[in-house]
Structure 1
Amino acid sequence: MLTKPKTIRITIAVFFVLCILAFSASFYRNTLFDRPRPIYKAEVELHVSEPELNLTKVKQLSQQYDFAVTPPPKPWSEKDLEFFQSIAGETVFSQLAIIPEAHETPDFTKITAAERLFKSLFNHFDKILSNDPSLHPANSSQHKASWELYTRLERSLYPWLYPYWENAFHINNQTSGQGIVMCVGNNQFKFAASSVRALRQVLHSQLPIEIFYIRENDLSPAKRTYFTTQFKNVSLVKLDDYVGEYYTRFGGWAMKPFALLASRFSEVIMMDADAFFFQDPALLFQDKGYALAGSLFFYDRTLFANWEKGPDWLRSFLSTMTSFVPNTRWFKGTSSHEQESGVIVMNKKKSLLGLLATCKLNGITERDEVVYKHIHGDKETFWIGHEMMQTPYAFIKSFGAVIGNMGRGGEDGDPTQVCGNQLHLDTEQVPLWLNGGLYRDKHKQPLEYLNFTHFAQGNDWDFQTSCIRETNRISALSKTLHQVAMDSIQIDIQRAKDEEMIDAGTWKPFSLPSDKAPL
């Protein structure tokens, strides 16, 4: 008698689960017990050195940061290779190393398992290749079999790496130094041009800046020329020259983690076009939480409680997570937003693998079929990607605040409340940066600048008026920071005049003596 199709599917599913369990048991056992380990030179610099967080330091900084402390990575061994070369192991591996067709729902349980296996193989070969950069694993009888597994996983997980990078090890070979990355299209130009000038002219930041755009028509040639002629050490980068478009199909938010990946900087401050700093952003590279974890994030506002769709999705595929996750507002149901991705600080020498997982979440199939249906754009993908790859990260312990002025009644907010744009504080609770631009409402015409007199902290946001209802944590903005805001507004007024000329085709780049050279 023929077996019914449903029975066949169940039998295959049970077999696959048993194989996964068998591999997991073997992999876990090999991790716990002694095994021969190769000896490497202590002075060799790895492509990626993920930090193992010192719990004493974590505790010392716990009043200022929330840390995601990840378990030590599981090392790859010959026994793991033996398993994957078996019939059962090849069956498991073939399920992990696949690229879903467009509009086919990705299986995030398999993706997570594949990424953690990829990490073990990456770390294995990182030690080998760092000790002998001339080695070609594909031509080595000792390493060929494991390298083939690594290559299959990398090509299935991150197909957009090619052809620009030969493999993931080449990414950090081409990076160095510190800098700022911004993603800018024609619609974001008005924010970005003013923000860059404020960095140079008001805060006197000398950090090099990369402006990423997607395609030729994404940012007009005239606006590109504006950036390169008005400012020193600002370069333009077309993202689809570096990242394969077929599996990404960028638009809007999704390009941000890929721009981070493609940046020439090893240490990067990714900032949205409408983000404005009150302090020199270079201070973030000296931040203690960043130094310890390698990736530093900021919290969003507390908004829209009882959001279950996102956390339920995460529980459905992330079987192991750090102790940070259950303590988030997201998981507790007090806010549908956890992270504000307007500023990301990342050391790719430490956090490259977490960044790769973040990029994966923003691929065309992943984001359209699953991810963006459960979260708001790219925001949560950074910490979720780090969780999937078990890469450490830290949040500054301060939820999104508000900066602007006291409400003026009616639609502008209660006069006892501070109303304006979202503000982010440093570890000393001093205003660090805002997002949403310098206007009271960037979506409302005519545009009106904020007065920048006060800021407030709290969790009770009035979304319609953009005010915090709590009145017990209101502070007056210092004269110094108020002046930063006023100077930035004057810059934006001049930018608006320049942009009118750009759009009319009458603006001309600098052709002045050297003392009038770009900032």
Structure 2
Amino acid sequence: MISLPRSPMVKLAIGLMIVLCLIAFSLQLQPSFRRDEYSSNSSSNSDSRYSQDSFEGRRESRQRTPVPSFKVPDSLLETHDVAIPQDLPPWTQEDTDLLDTTVGYALKLQMLKQEYSKNDDLNGKPDRINMAELARAEKLYKSLWHHVRPIYENLSGRDRDRERILLEMARTRPEIDFFLRLEKRLFPWLHYARQTSFSLMRSYKGRGIVFCAGNGQFEFVVTSIQAIRNRLKSTVPIQVFHMGNYDLSPERQTYLRKLANDIEVVDVTQILDNDYMKLGGWAIKPFAMLASSFEEVMFVDADAYFLQDPVMLFDDPGYKATGALFFYDRTLFAGNDNIMNWLKSVTPIVSSFPPTSRLYRMVSMHEQESGVVLINKKTRFLGMLATCKMNGKWERDLVSYRVFHGDKETFWSGFEMIQEPYAFMRNYGGVIGELREDNDKSVCGAQLHEDHTGRPLWWNGGLYRNKNSGVYRYLEFGYWMTGGGHQKHRERYTNNPEQMQQVLKDLGLRSTDQLQLEPKDAEWDFGESCLLGAPVNKLSRRESILSNGYVDIDRIAQKDGEAFKRGEVVDPTSHNWDAVDA
């Protein structure tokens, strides 16, 4: 047995760090206040962008605070909300030595404990999934992954040869053995015809769009693809993922392959182990992104439509700076602290984002809209894995989807679990469609998202007036309204007296009379899918022609969908898609 370092203090520090899996480290961390970052201090809810004097004063009072190494330019914070992650300790030789001690043995027993197997039925057993322990294990895995990856990359041969050599090395290298076993415990669906995550990561190349569609979403995805190919004239490669022939019929698969150039139809269960994923519904989305051959992947919902070439998002400054770009959902249903409390209980280490989020401030029960998600899997592969973990069969059924509404929040919360950076486009979900019949200052329709310059970019929710309320009349696209979001702290100022006092103190003000607030964001009439309270904007002529032209494409897609339901075989090349009138 290899002995611990002689210094009692070093021995204690290392033992605590590993046994508690970085908990002790996380409790010591206090976020720094920097000009180019948001505050991540969960014990203080004051705005981190007030004044240079406020920043300097806090920096002086916290000189011992660790400074996160991830940085972004000041200009980015004018258009995006950026999650600055906390640095986690790198894996060291002392950590490896400790694995062969009694303390290390106890650690491995705890971290490698299996919550379930392929055939387990965990119905009625929610305690089997300990998300706080999972978060600690993922952070430990992150340090190990960065330690083992260079070893793997320096091996010779094909990936199959590299994996064989790495498994042999694990016999004498306890940290490699621990890494491989921990990876199989955390991400069991990953090892399907492969031995490590590295071989999958090394297979990625290029950039492209991923859709997910079964028979029920077939018509939507046809319209969305044709909108990109034949209206926006984008040549970006497209992959459509499904869960097998029972999910998307072979006839529909053939139709999609013939629909336009450079379209691949992929069965995700042939790439990842569905015995563990047990996919259904929303859960396929992050797994499809992981399984996609693209290094830079943009997921797009089947009923999402663009007003600009989606390829431009790969050049978005928030995406380029962080490797992960998310969009905000609408501001809806304030006042529930269950999600906030759950997140705090499982992620004591957080980035700079959660304290400023609407969920933490109880302004909205919704934060992210997952209709469009961009992830660079070369730089944010670990964040992708952590998001998928939140969508595994038992994790989603017992925890994730009970806390959140489906997959939406699992993206940024997954990145929080493993502490990877990400960016949100700073505008909340707005609306695109038509004026309300009884109020020409209100716009009704689908949920709109803007680019970083404030122009309409894409919308989610399809082409109907209000499908959630059963109104399936096609929209007449002519207007749009922003959902706001550039001022995101007004509600916090006005709703919490204690936080208000902290705001006044930070700004050097004596009373709220001296505090100038920006106008409130627009408000939703959710039942009617209408937004009121911001300026009404007219779509440009080009935007109006595009969006209304998608309706004409959809009419063809709907007819072909009905033909498939009658058992007929349809050939998409029989249509002159380019000649569809706008």
**TM-score, normalised with respect to structure 1:** 0.86
Aligned residue in 2 for 1:349: 378
Using a 3 Å threshold, how does the CA distance of structure 1 residues 302 and 133 change in structure 2: closer, same or farther?
Answer: farther
Q: From 130, 140, 149, give the equivalent of 1:117.
A: 140
Deviations 1:170-204 (A, max 9, x none): 11211100110001011111111101011000000
Q: From 554, 559, 567, give the equivalent of 1:497.
A: 559
Residue pair 1:439, 1:449 contacting (<8 A) in 2 also? yes
Using a 3 Å threshold, how does the CA distance of structure 1 residues 508 and 188 change in structure 2: closer, same or farther?
Answer: closer
Residue pair 2:370, 2:408 contacting (<8 A) in 1 also? yes
Aligned residue in 1 for 2:328: 299
Using a 3 Å threshold, how does the CA distance of structure 1 residues 24 and 340 change in structure 2: closer, same or farther?
Answer: closer
Deviation at 1:54, TM superposition (A): 2.5
1:421 aligns with 2:421: no
Deviation at 1:275, TM superposition (A): 0.5
Deviation at 1:462, TM superposition (A): 1.1
Within 2, Cα distance between the matches of 1:445 and 1:98?
A: 47
1:457 aligns with 2:474: no
Aligned residue in 1 for 2:517: none
Letter matched to residue 436 of structure 1: G
Aligned residue in 1 for 2:89: 74
Q: From 475, 480, 488, give the equivalent of 2:542.
A: 480
Deviation at 1:461, TM superposition (A): 1.0
Letter matched to residue 136 of structure 2: A
Q: From 394, 397, 404, give the equivalent of 2:423.
A: 394
Deviation at 1:487, TM superposition (A): 1.4
Residue pair 2:23, 2:136 contacting (<8 A) in 1 also? no
Within 2, Cα distance between the matches of 1:90 and 1:244?
A: 29
**Aligned counterparts, 1:60-459, within 5 A:** 60-101=75-116, 102=120, 103=122, 104=125, 105=127, 106-134=129-157, 136-140=165-169, 144-409=173-438, 414-443=439-468, 447-458=472-483, 459=521
Mean CA deviation greater in 474-483 or 86-95: 86-95
Within 2, Cα distance between the matches of 1:339 and 1:157?
A: 25
Aligned residue in 1 for 2:529: 466
Within 2, Cα distance between the matches of 1:152 and 1:73?
A: 21
Q: Superposition RMSD on alpha carbons, in Å?
A: 2.5
Deviation at 1:447, TM superposition (A): 2.3
Mean CA deviation greater in 184-193 or 92-101: 92-101
Mean CA deviation greater in 429-438 or 127-136: 127-136
Using a 3 Å threshold, how does the CA distance of structure 1 residues 469 and 463 change in structure 2: closer, same or farther?
Answer: same
Deviations 1:119-171 (A, max 9, x none): 11110111222233445233338962111000110010000112233211011
Deviations 1:207-258 (A, max 9, x none): 1111111122111222112101121111111111111122211111111100
Letter matched to residue 492 of structure 1: D
**Aligned counterparts, 1:20-35, within 5 A:** 24=22
**Partner secondary structure for residue 62 of structure 1:** helix
Within 1, Cα distance between the matches of 2:311 and 2:225?
A: 14
Residue pair 2:17, 2:23 contacting (<8 A) in 1 also? no
Deviation at 1:279, TM superposition (A): 0.5
Within 2, Cα distance between the matches of 1:140 and 1:497?
A: 59
Within 1, Cα distance between the matches of 2:90 and 2:292?
A: 29
Mean CA deviation greater in 494-503 or 355-364: 494-503
Within 1, Cα distance between the matches of 2:261 and 2:404?
A: 37
**TM-score, normalised with respect to structure 2:** 0.77
Residue pair 1:180, 1:271 contacting (<8 A) in 2 also? yes
Residue pair 1:23, 1:89 contacting (<8 A) in 2 also? no
Deviation at 1:398, TM superposition (A): 0.5
Using a 3 Å threshold, how does the CA distance of structure 1 residues 231 and 95 change in structure 2: closer, same or farther?
Answer: same
**Partner secondary structure for residue 321 of structure 1:** coil
Mean CA deviation greater in 261-270 or 219-228: 219-228
Within 2, Cα distance between the matches of 1:26 and 1:269?
A: 37
Residue pair 1:449, 1:489 contacting (<8 A) in 2 also? yes
Deviations 1:443-484 (A, max 9, x none): 5557211111111123411110111121x3221111110011
Within 2, Cα distance between the matches of 1:449 and 1:406?
A: 14
Deviations 1:28-73 (A, max 9, x none): 9xxxxxxxxxxxxxxxxxxxxxx96324x1x221110011111334
Residue pair 2:306, 2:458 contacting (<8 A) in 1 also? yes
Using a 3 Å threshold, how does the CA distance of structure 1 residues 287 and 24 change in structure 2: closer, same or farther?
Answer: closer
**Partner secondary structure for residue 77 of structure 2:** coil
Deviation at 1:89, TM superposition (A): 1.9
Within 2, Cα distance between the matches of 1:418 and 1:447?
A: 17
Residue pair 2:169, 2:176 contacting (<8 A) in 1 also? no
The runs of 5 or more residues in structure 2 that have no matched partner are 1-14, 27-67, 484-520
Using a 3 Å threshold, how does the CA distance of structure 1 residues 86 and 448 change in structure 2: closer, same or farther?
Answer: same
Letter matched to residue 94 of structure 1: L
Deviations 1:92-126 (A, max 9, x none): 22111122134243111111111111111110111
Give the aligned length. 472
Q: Which runs of 4+ in 1 moved over 4 A?
A: 17-28, 443-446, 510-516
Letter matched to residue 376 of structure 2: N
**Partner secondary structure for residue 350 of structure 1:** coil
Aligned residue in 2 for 1:36: none
Within 1, Cα distance between the matches of 2:576 and 2:222?
A: 21
Within 1, Cα distance between the matches of 2:530 and 2:170?
A: 65
Within 1, Cα distance between the matches of 2:530 and 2:378?
A: 39
Letter matched to residue 432 of structure 1: L
Deviation at 1:353, TM superposition (A): 0.2
Letter matched to residue 331 of structure 1: Y
Deviations 1:285-322 (A, max 9, x none): 11111111000000000000012111111111111101
Mean CA deviation greater in 333-342 or 97-106: 97-106
Residue pair 1:182, 1:212 contacting (<8 A) in 2 also? yes
Within 2, Cα distance between the matches of 1:189 and 1:309?
A: 36
Using a 3 Å threshold, how does the CA distance of structure 1 residues 511 and 475 change in structure 2: closer, same or farther?
Answer: closer
**Partner secondary structure for residue 464 of structure 1:** helix
Within 1, Cα distance between the matches of 2:267 and 2:144?
A: 31
Mean CA deviation greater in 117-126 or 101-110: 101-110
Residue pair 1:19, 1:89 contacting (<8 A) in 2 also? no
